Structure 1
Amino acid sequence: MIHDLAPYPVMKDSGVPWLGPVPEHWDVKSLGSLTTSRSERNRPDLPLLSVVREKGVILRDRESKEENHNFIPDDLSNYKVVHEGDLVINKMKAWQGSMGLAPQDGIVSPAYFVFDFAIENRHYGQALLRSRPYVGFFAQASDGVRIGQWDLSITGMKRIPVMLPPPAEQAAIVRFLDHADRRIRKAIAAKQRLIKLLQEQKQVIIHQAVTRGLDPDVKLKPSGVEWLGDVPEHWGISRLKFESNRIVDCLHATPPYTDDGEFPAIRTADIEPGKVRLAQARRLSKEHYEAWTSRYRPVAGDILYSREGERFGIAATVPENVGLCISQRMMVFNIKKSVSSQYLMWQINCRHVYLQAALDTIGSAAPHVNVERIKNFEIVLPSLNEQQAIVQHIEAETAKLDQAIARAQAEISLLREYRIRLIADVVTGKLDVRQAAARLPEPEQDTLPDELNAGEGEGLEGEEELTGEEE
């Protein structure tokens, strides 16, 4: 269906270089002619809404401490009233796409712009204004001294052209994009299930190696460690603090990140078991790097550990030839030379250590592992030579699994990029979907897992890690 799409038969000049030609029967109006500023206030009884880059306008949980970093005041009488279908824009992040049409009535931060948006189909307006070309338009309409501090100009915003097909065609576009999005999300879901299975297989290999060794006939003994069970009889039991030179907690403050910083500051989102995601890490200037490493500067082979938040209990080793520091919710362990830090890192990622950490987090809305608990993690230790052999075995056995995971992740990225490009081509009139939409069956009931739906957004937008509200 998607591959059979063709351009519209008759086009006209839109008058906008970025958009090029548009279907002849489409109107092109300025955003200013379709919007009226809304300034109602004093409705603290309404639901609290927020704007995030990945989804647009969402319902915000007033009780959640994890949803974003901003304080919610007790008095919400100054918050702006939003009606269903209103256009809400985070003026400081509009250049990143932080805007959307409200799915329901509510209130938002007084720092946001709120407009009554006169468009026939709210879902079409959402897809159009959040498409990639329109993010570029809003960036062009924003100005400031440096990137990251751009403010949306109302004058520039009002000049942004809006593509307006007839109402029936707007509905057809929404129906087509929703159908295409469901197909793409199902393909992504299948690849995510594959990744999960590969990761589980990898975890089995690691757990078997670090808790039982490489000899299938080795004699076993009770470990004395709850959740661990039997271990090779010649192995010893120790605690993390006895095998570490330094166990250093973070500064419990958010570093001043900068886009052009030289040094990565590692957050919980920047590690996965056995791997540091340096490419996505936020950066610090040399001055702030020095401040954030004043207590200890991580070196290659040190173990990075996430001790707070939903991603607690994950460990990875510091790579070679990189200067980094730990951000909030992170710790670093400098391991003694008598122990393989790589072996210890794999063990910390295993279930028996994770369950020790979880003793501090049961029933907590904001998981937090106590430093004293971490220092006393019980670990099982073979000889150094055996540790090194186990590490080599893990690396060899998991290499093909890692390659398969990387391929699936790359395919997911391509599917998401394809979705973004498809939306842009359809809402800007580059592809005619009227006949394709007319042939579509009735929409299927969404059977995707809840966690996938949450991660994949509302269906018509691309998605990234949620950044929350910035005021």
Structure 2
Amino acid sequence: MIGALSPYPEMRPSGIEWLPALPQGWEIHRAKYSFKEADDRSEAGGEELLSVSHKTGVTPRSQKNITMFMAESYEGHKVCRPGDIVVNTMWAWMAAIGVSRHVGIVSPAYGIYRPRASGRFEPKFLDYLLRTEVYRAEYLRSSRGVTTSRLRLYPPDFLNIPLVQPPLDEQRLIVRLLDWHGAQTAKLIRAKKKIIALLNEQRQAIIHRAVTRGHDTNIRFKPSGIPWLGDVPEGWEVKRLKWAMRLQRGFDLPADRRIPGPHPVVSSGGIIDYHVDARVKGPGVVMGRYGSTDAVFYIEHDFWPHNTSLFVTDFCGNLPWWCFYILRTISKQDHSSKAAVPGVDRKDLFDIVVAVPPRLEQSNIVKGIEDSSRDLNQAITTISLEIGRIQEFRARLIADVVTGKLDVRAMAATMSEVPDAEPIEDVGEDDGFDGEHAEMEGEEVAA
């Protein structure tokens, strides 16, 4: 159906180098002609706290799974209203921008731009337009700073950026088609993610059995002395985790202090950036300290563990890969705090009792897990790549439609409006892991 879309019959030069042509009847004006900076401040900070992401735009913080500390007070935060453009000034170059559908508050460091008059833009159309790749590139060109991590998009520079403006009724048709496509694509991605979840459950069952029962099916067992642990293979030692490996909190490294380099920066959600320096020699094992406390990562080379993570400082003579699998098996959630941002204390982890096999058996366990999981891993990789291609097609379609490369008027006119369309970006995003998003929010609180 989407493949039947065709270009507009008549185009005209736009006068903009990065957007050469527009359909006849479309306008393009600098943002300052339609928007002005707003700086209303919250007196008590009691309004709904909003988040600004390059994936989902402006959404209530309560709907996001964010790795961060909450501020003691939000008094003095900026107030935004429905129809306002909200820009994460520090991450605009990543397209952390959107149009609010809510009354709420955001960081004082953010930019808020209010419509000068109603009836010029359909808010949802503008929300689609502002996070396209062509606009992200323009934010990058318009931002100021020495390095990428220090770039800031200030109000005069944002207001100088041209905004594409189709006729209002055409904006609504564009929104109708993109919402319909988003709803259909969301169903497809959700189905594929359910399959991945089932495959992960199978893989986790393989890992759990291997690290608690061993690779040898003929091995004899002995009582562990721990009721919930049950019997363990003979020759295995039962000990607290602190005697199987040592864990330490990672190191602070704000985005504006990172210098591009070869070493991964690993947070509670995985690799979030690369830095010129490393603090830990590889191979290493990192797990979430806040938010994604059940996430565990094996890092082959030298790396920088972020302060939102814990990393293994001493494997105590055990294989790093075995330590990785044992940390994936134990439930860190049982040892997490019940605060707004769940966190795990390494001292509590140290009291967890585990059964430690001899090093040779550890090697057999690791090999057994790899052999038994190979087909599952390949299937997960294949489906993940399919999801990536679906998301790429979605992004390309949005960009082509909102910038006038494809004419959707006839097709959209036959469609019903999609009520409360689910953003495709929410479905495509892994729960609890949006590394850049988590970093953005950390910057917001510090601002």
Bin for the TM-score computed over the shorter chain = 0.7 to 0.9
Unaligned runs of 5+ in 1: 271-279
- One-letter code aligned to 2:212: T
Following superposition, the deviation at residue 201 of structure 1 comes to 1.0
One of 291, 307, 315 as aligned partner of 1:310: 291
User: Aligned partners of 2:315 and 2:109: how far apart in 1?
Assistant: 47
Give 1:284's aligned residue: 275
Distance 1:464 1:267, change over 3 A: closer
Give deviations 1:343-366, integer Å, cap 9, x for gaps. 34322321xx32xx4443264433
User: Aligned partners of 1:418 and 1:403: how far apart in 2?
Assistant: 23
C-alpha RMSD of the superposition? 3.1
Distance 1:364 1:417, change over 3 A: same
Preserved CA contact (<8 Å) 1:173 1:434: yes
Give 1:105's aligned residue: 103
Unaligned runs of 5+ in 2: none
Residue correspondence of structure 1 range 229-308 to structure 2 within 5 A: 229-244=230-245, 247-250=246-249, 253-254=252-253, 257-270=257-270, 280-286=271-277, 289=278, 293=279, 297-300=280-283, 302-306=284-288, 308=289
Q: Percent identity?
A: 31
User: Aligned partners of 1:96 and 1:358: how far apart in 2?
Assistant: 32
- One-letter code aligned to 1:265: V
One of 312, 323, 334 as aligned partner of 1:332: 312
- One-letter code aligned to 2:126: G
Tell me, yes or no, if structure 1 residue 438 matches structure 2 residue 416.
no
Distance 1:155 1:310, change over 3 A: closer
TM-score by length of 2: 0.85
Give deviations 1:40-77, integer Å, cap 9, x for gaps. 34554543334232222222459x9955457454533x
Distance 1:387 1:112, change over 3 A: closer
Give 1:124's aligned residue: 125
Give 1:346's aligned residue: 325
Following superposition, the deviation at residue 312 of structure 1 comes to 1.7
Give 1:410's aligned residue: 385
Give 2:193's aligned residue: 192
Following superposition, the deviation at residue 176 of structure 1 comes to 0.2
Distance 1:391 1:170, change over 3 A: same
Preserved CA contact (<8 Å) 1:304 1:333: no
Preserved CA contact (<8 Å) 2:336 2:343: yes
User: Aligned partners of 1:389 and 1:42: how far apart in 2?
Assistant: 60
Q: Secondary structure at the match of 1:169?
A: helix
User: Aligned partners of 2:90 and 2:221: how far apart in 1?
Assistant: 61
Give 1:152's aligned residue: 153
Distance 1:312 1:123, change over 3 A: same
Give 2:214's aligned residue: 213
Give 2:84's aligned residue: 86
Following superposition, the deviation at residue 216 of structure 1 comes to 3.6
TM-score by length of 1: 0.81
Preserved CA contact (<8 Å) 2:259 2:276: no
User: Aligned partners of 2:286 and 2:81: how far apart in 1?
Assistant: 46
Give 1:277's aligned residue: none
- One-letter code aligned to 1:111: A
Following superposition, the deviation at residue 407 of structure 1 comes to 1.2
Following superposition, the deviation at residue 259 of structure 1 comes to 4.1
Preserved CA contact (<8 Å) 1:360 1:370: yes
Distance 1:61 1:432, change over 3 A: same
Q: Secondary structure at the match of 2:238?
A: strand
- One-letter code aligned to 1:415: I
One of 382, 386, 390 as aligned partner of 2:357: 382
Preserved CA contact (<8 Å) 1:314 1:348: no
Following superposition, the deviation at residue 332 of structure 1 comes to 1.0
User: Aligned partners of 2:42 and 2:341: how far apart in 1?
Assistant: 31
User: Aligned partners of 1:70 and 1:285: how far apart in 2?
Assistant: 30
